[in-house]
Amino acid sequence: MFYFCFDGLGTTLGIFLLKLIKNQQENTMGIFNRVNDVIQSNIVAMLDKAEDPEKLLNLMLTDMQDALNECRSTAAALLCEEKIINRQIDTKKTELAAWQVKAEHAVEKGSDNLAKSALLEKQRVNESIVNKQTQLETLQESIAKIKVDCERLQQKIVEAKTKQAQLVKRHDVAAARKKISTTLQSDKVANALSRFEQVEQRVESIEAQIEAYELTDSANTTAAQIEALVKNEKIDVELAQLKTSLKTDLKQTA
């Protein structure tokens, strides 16, 4: 929305513009109040019910930004009108001084009637200045208020954006935790754990078999060694007996 300042506007048009701006200001304040209600509402509860919390927050921020734009547009229009009224007052003051000079000149010329007419015009212009100044004061009060409203709304938008980031992050974390919890409780995980247990049992069985083979092999080796020793002892005894027998035979022959 764009506003243009025009110098030299008539009083009637100026009053019309003031009414138009006042109506627009009221509309803007209506938007601001509506947005302010949204900000102060339970956003967390709204997010819990929303299918897409981030989308909801984006819509809220868009609404607030639109209200801020309207607020700034109204402030710009009021500042424009303030400039117009100030220029009109300056023009009226110049006109007031001119009628004062004319009244003095008429008195110098001895024309009281002309002097009175000039003073009447001066009085009319002065009343117009007073009215303009009253309008200006009212306008400046409105400008001050709407500036405060714009600042408040801007701050609320900053707060809402901060809350948006926090809530979206919380929502994402909660969603991730829920997914993990659901996964852990699913049949797929139970089946996988069961398969792991089966594999573990098979591995333990194979390890036990290997240990049994190693023990058996060790026992067989030991038995063979003992048997060999026994055989060697028998051979030694038999050899000794053979030697003794041969010695006996040799003695008898001699």
pLDDT in tens, 56-98: 778 878 888 888 888 888 888 889 999 999 999 999 999 999 9
Evaluate whether residue 150 is within a structural domain: yes
Evaluate whether residue 232 is within a structural domain: no
Q: Which amino acid is at 235?
A: I
Evaluate whether residue 247 is within a structural domain: no
Highest-pLDDT range among 101-105, 146-150, 216-220: 101-105
Could you tell me the residue range of the domain that residue 89 belongs to? Answer: 11-185
Instruction: Tally the domains of the chain.
Output: 1
**Residue 3's closest CA among 67, 94, 107, 74?**
74
Would you give the end-to-end CA distance of the chain in angstroms? 152
**Residue 26's closest CA among 77, 61, 62, 63?**
77
Give the C-alpha separation, 175 to 235, whole Å.
Answer: 86
Q: Where are the alpha helices (DSSP H) in the chain?
A: 11-40, 43-49, 53-108, 112-184, 187-253
Highest-pLDDT range among 30-39, 93-102, 164-173: 93-102
Evaluate whether residue 180 is within a structural domain: yes
Which distant-in-sequence residues (6+ apart) come within 8 Å of 57 by Cβ? 43, 47, 160, 164, 167, 168
Note the pLDDT of residue 7.
45
pTM for this prediction: 0.53
Q: Which amino acid is at 5?
A: C
Which distant-in-sequence residues (6+ apart) come within 8 Å of 93 by Cβ? 129
Give the C-alpha separation, 157 to 164, whole Å.
Answer: 10
Is the pLDDT assigned to residue 226 strictly greater than 90? Answer: no
Evaluate whether residue 224 is within a structural domain: no
Mean predicted confidence (pLDDT) in 160-183: 79
Distance (Å) of CA 118 to CA 100, 102, 109, 113, 115: 7, 6, 13, 9, 5
Evaluate whether residue 243 is within a structural domain: no
SS3 50: coil
Evaluate whether residue 231 is within a structural domain: no
Evaluate whether residue 104 is within a structural domain: yes
Reported as a single tens digit per residue, the pLDDT across 102-136 is: 999 999 989 999 999 999 999 999 999 999 999 99
